[in-house]
Structure formats: structure tokens, C-alpha cells
Structure 1
Amino acid sequence: MPPSALPDGDPAPESGELPAPALANLAATDLGIYVHVPFCTVRCGYCDFNTYTLTELGGPGAGIGIDSYADAALRELDLARTVLGAGSAEVPAVSTVFVGGGTPTMLRSGDLVKVVDGIRARFGLAPDAEVTTEANPDSVTPDSLRELADGGFTRVSVGMQSAVPHVLRTLERTHDPDNVARAVDAARAAGLQVSVDLIYGTPGESLDDWRRSLEAAVALGPDHVSAYALVVEEGTKLAAQVRRGVVPAPEDDDEADKYELADELLGAAGFGWYEVSNWARDESRRCRHNVAYWSGTNWWGVGPGAHSHVGGVRWWNVKHPSAYAARLGAGLSPAHARESLTDEQRYDERVLLGSRLVDGLPLDDLRGSGRTAVAGLIADGLVEGVAVVRDARLVLTRRGRLLADTVVHRLLAAPGSPG
């Protein structure tokens, strides 16, 4: 889907009101808040996220900007509290907050804290709440990170991507690689848990380049590492370059080799995988916010283009920051459209997401055709046979993680359909 497009869906009410059944079990389910900050200094050629440079937004007076963004987010939080409080059940305290982007740390630290304070005032934060922000290593300082920690943030995810200059140039990442270590050290000194994000499969990246990035990431001593295969998304500059033959497309075999190397090196360094693309020092260092997504719990997405899910209803906001600000300024929900998931859709998502986790997918969650497929998946080395027998859960092998889409297809295939 091109970056400018939004999914089709049903009309969303201007009030943001949700159907009563969506709120029925609200008190019994964890609630997360995602805050999307859509600003970037430059647009990276591979990125299809909903982001804008300040030049693209038209500068001051264009409706919303860095200085006014926190206030717009607080207006949506007001709406969220009204909508979620409309049911008879008590609204739970927020368990996790994740501020992503874009580059959230283009905002002042005080504004990021202002948003977290707004969440605390409207919903309360659970005593052990996880509060994360993504950060560009060039846009944080020891003082800004201390302000975040003092304001309730517990975790920072640093966008390292690579330690190799020519790979960063291809990705159009402009940060100084040396600033990654400075940012990690400053975050740790502030008392924050640290994750580093990596990308593999960039055109021109050799296996040795990827090894160098992994070893550099491990040397930083983070609590958590995310490593994602580069995907060439339609509508991006990178997709156009691949189409014209300026750069080669990523190759599946190359990305598989790099995934195996990541799993080997991270495992040897004491990191355990807990989701196909994520490794943590121990269970307490996993990103609980993302685990909540993969487990199908409730979250409200704040910001332009942000997606939300509550009680089987999913909706998404208008994408452009000015349209977002205008909706909120008029007292309207910024939701563009929504859908109520059917039982079949919810089942498919439970299989798709649950099978990606090291904790596995309970066999009891599988319907008949899925259960029938398990024996073949074990025989093909895609599923851990011992784990299935012992814990009655489906857990992917490393080979299964490389072929996770195939595993899901076979679990969801109707009886008699091609596997």
C-alpha cells in the first residue's frame, strides 16, 4: 500500500463512540497507549511510515508542528478517556506506553513528558508501567534523557540500523554512528532500559557488514535488540530505485543467512528470541507493549495515521497532521475509518501473531485444520516437537522462524486446500 493510502473501512462516527460490546471486557484487559510523532528531519528512502519533514508541513502556522504537537495529542487523550469511559466497566490503568514515529525525540523532552503526564492524569499508569520512546541517536543528550527518565519513561529504543557507513548511506540514515554509543551510555546513566534497532538486507550490505553491525550492537550492552529484514515498500524512493535497477532488490537467501547469523551471535551473547525479530536479555527486558500487540490486547493509538484496537474494533486516524489537528480542534474524532473484526478475522490474527512468539500458540487455540497441520510442521522441522508434546503449544524452530509465513499458511489452510 503506498504511503499516501489508508485502508478501506466503515465510516467512523465523529464522536469516536465505540459499540457497547467492544467496551464490555475493558476492565479485564490490559490497555496500552501508542503515540505517533510524525516528524522527521529527513525522509529515509526505504521508509513508508506516516512521517513528514517540517518543510513538507509548510512551517509555522500550518496547523500543527513540533511546538504544538503535545497539545494536539492531549486533546485526543481527552477523547480517548471519554470514549473508553462510556461503558459501565471501569477503565483500566495504562500498562504500557510507546512513543514512535517518525522521530519522537525531535520533540522537546518536556513535551514528551507532558504527554505521559496527560496519560497518567486521564487514565493512571500501572505501578509497573513500561513507557518507551524511540530515539534517533543524534537527537538525544544526557540532559534530555535524564528529563525523560525523571518524567516516567522507563525505556528508550535507539535507531542504530547499522554500524557500517555505506549501509547507512544507502538507507539515507543521517546519524553519526559514533553517537549510537553515546546515546546508549547516556540512557543507561539515566536509568533507562535500552533497545537498539537494526535492519538487515540493505542493497550492498555484505554478510561481513552485517556481522560488524551485530557485534557493534552487542558491544553496546543493550537490554534488547530488534533486527528487521529490509522490505521494499511500494511508493517509497527505494522501491523506485529497485524498479529502475539503480540498486538490487533484497534477496531471500541473503536475508535468511543474515537472520541465522543474528540468532547465533545474539544467542551467544546471552539474548533470547521472544518474537521472530526481537531478542532480549531476559523476560523482564522484553518490550511488553509490542507483546501486547501480538497478544491481541487493547490499545489506543494517538496521532496522525495511528491505529487502535479495542474489543475487536479497529480504527485508524486521518494521516495528514493538519487534518488531524483540524478534526480535534473542531471537537471531532480524528478517526478516518474503522472495522469490526469477525470471529474468523480474530482467529486468523491470533494464529498469525501468536505463532511468532517464543511462548508459542496453544494447541487448544487451533481449529481442526490447524491441528491436523501440526504433525507435518514437526516432521518438516518448522515446529519444536518436544515443546508441543510437553506444553501443548506450537513453538517455531529457527527454520520455522525463517518460514513463518509458510507455517501460518499451513495452519490456516482449509482442509483439502493446497498447503
Structure 2
Amino acid sequence: MGRISRLGNSLYTGERSIDFVGRRWLWYAISAAIVVIAILGLATKGLNYGIEFTGGTQYKVTIADGATQEQADDIREAIGGLGIPNADAPVVSTSGQNSILIQVEELSNAESVKVNQTIQDTLGVTQQDISQDQIGASWGDEVKNRALTGLVVFLILVVLFIWAYFREWKMSAAAIVALAHDVVITVGVYALSGFEVTPATVTGLLTILGFSLYDTVVVFDKIRENTKNLRANRTTYAAAANLAVNQTLVRSINTSLVALIPVGAILYVSAVQLGASSLKDLALALFVGMAAGTYSSIFIATPLLVHIKSNETEIVMAERRAKARARREADRYASVPAFTEDMPIGSDPDTGPGRGGVLVEERDDFDDDDFDEPGEEVGPRRPAPAPEAMGRGRTVPTSQRPVGRSSASGRQQPTRQPKSKRK
């Protein structure tokens, strides 16, 4: 068995455990710092909307011999070096085998003529091979409105689904907070990096919501399985939830790595080798969103769920029972009651076997019924007094010491006088 397999098995069985729930304030602080940085970047730099949202000019160049990526790189450098503010960062990509698309912001007539002439000189084409289109911002506004509508509908369906599946609105709240966490971080990365926001970005943003939700639902399902009966399992909600995260940890990491490796490869090729492409916008949203979704399902969703459920009566009682068991295990004699004159028969600590009775064994464990209601005094209940001996011709001898129940019979064993002394 490999090292990863052994680690996963020890985490699943509880032999090894990482305290995700107990350190929740540390995870909250880390997430809060990341979210604050993302919000500051969004507020100071803002988003770099693409031509589809702001409007601009698009040139489509047809090359009879076939378009190559080298030609796209050359025309990008040539147009970027013209010194035109709205064309200093053109978006250039190949379209099919014989076309190159060039997108810039809105240009004046003189600037448009200059860009057109640069395309002809760099690629060796004529004016007939170049088609020019103006893109208005109205279509981008429609895309934004549709994206916001889809996001709202998605969040409503997520809340209803989790509430119907788990019958727990607090799980829905924790999942929504984790989703918001992922969206804010992804948008903040776009603002800080300066990547363009295009319709492909919107598609990637909506995709990562589903990925993050999938990972969170898997963890929540394991939590529900582990917390079905806290009284019978003799554990707390926090411990059971933390065990669920450890049991799904290796699966979450493996799933995320399998998804992030190809997305990272696409991001590298599109951003470094292709320079500018719609693939870059889609890949960045997917990469950041998947990484944030994995983090939130482990470090945010589950600790937050335990936090908001910590005041429920059943969970509070489970915590009290766990603390009582911990005190007893630390000092098993701490729960022995002090001697009093009115103690029941068999409770005298000086009583021992062979001295007129059988010593009543101490309780080895606290029963869960000892802590049924909040505020009830923690401690073992006193055993019921032993029944008196009954029956014709039998008398109970004078007790020299407390008498316990005999292990040889289900009733007390009285003594009888010899025949010579009977009347």
C-alpha cells in the first residue's frame, strides 16, 4: 500500500486526524485576509472589461496561405507599438485556418486608418482582405444582465436543493457562504491581474459554482452520516464533523488535482504561448475558482456549519457528556461519592468481599441518561437500596456492616438459627 493510501486509510479510520473544526478561527482569519485583498483590488483597480462589454473595433484578416500563431504575435506587437492608447493592448487570435481576429477599443477615423495600414504592412495583405466591424456595448450589457439572472437563479436552486436533501437550512447557509467566498476571490484575482473580463469569464465563473457546490455537498453528506445518533456513538457534533472532513480529504485533494492540472496547462498555453485568447479568460476563472472551492469546502463550509449549530440542545448535551467522560478518564476516582451516614446499603467504601457481604462494584461509566436536561447536576445516580429478605420461617440477621447483593443468588441470603435454639 502506497504512502498516500496509508494516509487516506488512517484519516478515514480516525487513527490520524487534522483538526479543521477546532482551528476554525485561524481559517476564518486567513479567508478574511484574502477576501479583503480581493475587495481592495476590485475597489482600486476595477475589472478590465473586454470589447464585448465596452464596445470597440474588430478587424478580421483573411490570409490565403493560412494564418499562424507567429503572424498573430507579430501583428499584436506592431499594433501595440503604434502609441494609440485604445490599441496598446490588442486582443489577437487565430480564427480557423485562414483568419486572424484583432480587437481593440473604440478608435477615431484617423486611428482606425493607421491600424488598418499597419495590418496590411505587417501581414502583407490588401484592403480587400480586411473586414472591419464596430461592436457596441449593448450586447455586453445584455450578457451581464443574463449572467446576474443566472447567478441569482442558481443560488436559489442551491438553497432549495440542500434544504430538501439534508433537511437542514443551516447547511444551506454554510454552502452559500462558501460559494460567495469563492466568487469574491475569483473576481478579485481578475481585478488584481488585469485579465480581461469576457463572456468566457462569465461562463467560467458560473462553472466554478457547480464545482464548489459538488465538493461541499460530498463533505456535508459524510457529516450527516457521522452525526445520525450522537448519543449512541458517544461523540460530539464537532468531532463527528471533523472526522467527516478527514475522511473526504484525500478524495477532495485528488479530485481537485485531476481538475486543476489540465486547466493549469490550458492557462499556461493560452496566456504564455498564445498571448491573448478567450481560452485564457476561461482557464483563469476555472483555475482560481476550483482552487478556492476546494479550500472553502474543507476550511470554511464545515467549520462554519459546526459554528452555527453549536447552540442546539442536542449538540450542547453531547458536549457535556463528552466533557464528563473526559474528566472521568483523567481521574477515575474523582466520581466516587463521599461517605455519608444516609448512604444506601453497599455504598460504604470500607465494605469488602468476605466481610459480611459482597462489595457493590463502582459504575464503570456514565450513562447518557445521567445528563438528560441542561442544568442537571453531573454525577452518577445512587443505586436503589437492596430489598429486604422475606419468606416464612426466615429472619434477617442483625447487620454488622452494609450488605451488598450476592453474586451467587438473586436475593439476600439470611442466616437461620440452629434447631436447638428454635422455639
Q: How high is the TM-score relative to the length of structure 2?
A: 0.18
Specify the structure having the higher radius of gyration (Cα): 2
More helix as a share of residues: 2
The structure carrying a bigger strand percent of its residues is 1
